[in-house]
Amino acid sequence: MMAAPAFAQTTLYEGARLIPGDGKPAIERSAFLVENGTITRVGRQGDVKAPAGAARVDLTGKTVMPALIDIHTHTGFQKGATYRPENYSRETIVDDLNRALYFGVSTVVSEGIDPGEVAFRIRDDQAAGTLGGARLFTAGRGMGAPNAGPGADTYRGIAYDVTTEEEARRDVREVTARKVDFIKIWVDDRNGRAPELSPPLYRAIIDEAHRHGVRVNAHVFYLADAKGLVAAGIDGFTHMARDKEMDDEVVQAIVKRGVVVMPTLQSTERGRNTGMPPPLAAWLNGPAREAIPPEIIARVQAAYGGRTAAQAAAARERYAILQRSLAKLSAAGARIVLGGDTGLQDDPFGFAEHRELELMVDAGMTPMQAIVAATSRGAEYLRLRKTGTLAAGKSADFLVLDANPLDDIVNTRRIARIFVSGAEVDRNSLRAGLNATK
């Protein structure tokens, strides 16, 4: 669990390169003052003075940046090498949240496959200050046409089956009464296994949700559906269109309407490989192994192989559609956020977020743009006014890195220390707990 905030502490952190998280240039040899868990001053070393009695922390040679925020996750189903509905419990969700925090992810959104009350109770316990880990937001149970919800058998029966506009509005009223943070909808035909969620139905869901002040995130596959959803007032896409490259019409509509986009590259990217890229394998078998069970690491590695060169080449062509779409969206100024589809089978927390950042940059975003997507932009979408950037008045939620991610985005993995509300996270205790429950 994360350490309790030391609210009486006043600390001046000096010497680090500071990446604010809002796209402004990094401050070399920075200084920032933290009082009672809040950043009160930010500037250059020597310009920010510490009050009498304040502690000083020398971060010379380090880089600091805001903690990461993942808007597209699924918590609670993986336990060791198994992934099944019986695993879903408070214990496995907390394990996911602790692993996320260990890897520098302070906040996650569980998108639509949370049955029952467990996720809501965890969210309430965190709000009350009795439970740590990455902060959890939840969409509860999502909605789609019959059999069109989340794909794996593990999730069967969780999503609402919507067949009429009356059902759509009733289901929205039911989930909003439980104070979900978002509503998740699955719109496409799920590779032909189900009917699509028709425009009259998704328009009814969006309209009713907005009446109750709740935003809607959509799982899409087809470009035509993406266009219809933007026109209907969708708030966010948990994937980009995957059948065709997103054209200028939909890109401009997304930008104009302020629709949030989660690229969700890393779960698709594996298919273009015949084996795990050596640098990724080195990290997964090196520092990441401390907090990810070896049986999951073995399964992640296996997911990168097992296909022929021809199959990988075909997958690269399909994956290139996503890369081109993301490059267009980024160049146009779309509101892109980090969303890894984290927590799917053999897609562990921590691993997925950092890999997603690497692939966002590989697709054409700059490291600074990727950092903004993973910090301030996510906080903005979650309406978290006190986090996401390192600036006066913000909560002191930050990572201390051993290398500069603006030089190479994979340096977000080189975490030396993590702070939440000004208190240092005890990563050793987190790691011990994760190893004990693997």
Residues of the chain with CATH 3.20.20.140: 68-91+102-381
Split at pLDDT 50, 70, 90, the class of 435 is low
Split at pLDDT 50, 70, 90, the class of 207 is very high
Q: Which CATH class is domain 68-91+102-381?
A: alpha beta
Residues of the chain with CATH 2.30.40.10: 10-65+388-437
Of 401, 306, 400, 402, nearest to 346 by C-alpha is 306
Split at pLDDT 50, 70, 90, the class of 78 is very high
User: The domain 10-65+388-437: what is its CATH number?
Assistant: 2.30.40.10
pTM equals 0.96
Helix 223-232 × helix 248-257 angle, to 10°: 30
The pLDDT tens digits of the residues spanning 299-322 come to 999 999 999 999 999 999 999 999
Residue with the larger pLDDT of the pair 267 and 233: 233
- Checking DSSP bridges between strand 335-336 and strand 135-138, what pairing results, if any? unpaired
Give the least confident one: 2-6, 128-132, 284-288, 400-404. 2-6
The predicted model gives 179-200 an average pLDDT of 94
What's residue 437's pLDDT? Answer: 52
Give the least confident one: 144-158, 297-311, 367-381, 395-409. 144-158
- Checking DSSP bridges between strand 398-401 and strand 63-66, what pairing results, if any? antiparallel
Q: What percent of the chain has pLDDT over 70?
A: 97
CA distance 141 to 115: 6
The predicted model gives 188-217 an average pLDDT of 95
Split at pLDDT 50, 70, 90, the class of 153 is confident
> 3-class SS at 381?
helix
Tokens of 23: 């796209």
What's residue 5's pLDDT? Answer: 43
Token pair 């408070």 is found at 90
Write down the mean pLDDT value for the chain.
95
The predicted model gives 148-170 an average pLDDT of 91
C-alpha dist (Å) from residue 331 to 230, 238, 324: 19, 19, 11
CA distance 416 to 67: 13
What's residue 200's pLDDT? Answer: 98
What's residue 436's pLDDT? Answer: 61
Residue 46 buriedness (CB in 10 A; 0-12 / 13-18 / 19+) = exposed
The pLDDT tens digits of the residues spanning 270-291 come to 999 999 999 999 999 999 999 9
What's residue 7's pLDDT? Answer: 44
With 70 as the cut, is the pLDDT of residue 178 above it?
Answer: yes
CA distance 150 to 161: 11
What's residue 213's pLDDT? Answer: 98
Longest dimension (CA), the chain: 67
The predicted model gives 230-238 an average pLDDT of 98
DSSP code, position 27? B
Token pair 């997507």 is found at 373
What's residue 150's pLDDT? Answer: 84
Tokens of 232: 């209907």
The predicted model gives 24-37 an average pLDDT of 98
With 80 as the cut, is the pLDDT of residue 298 above it?
Answer: yes
> 3-class SS at 102?
helix
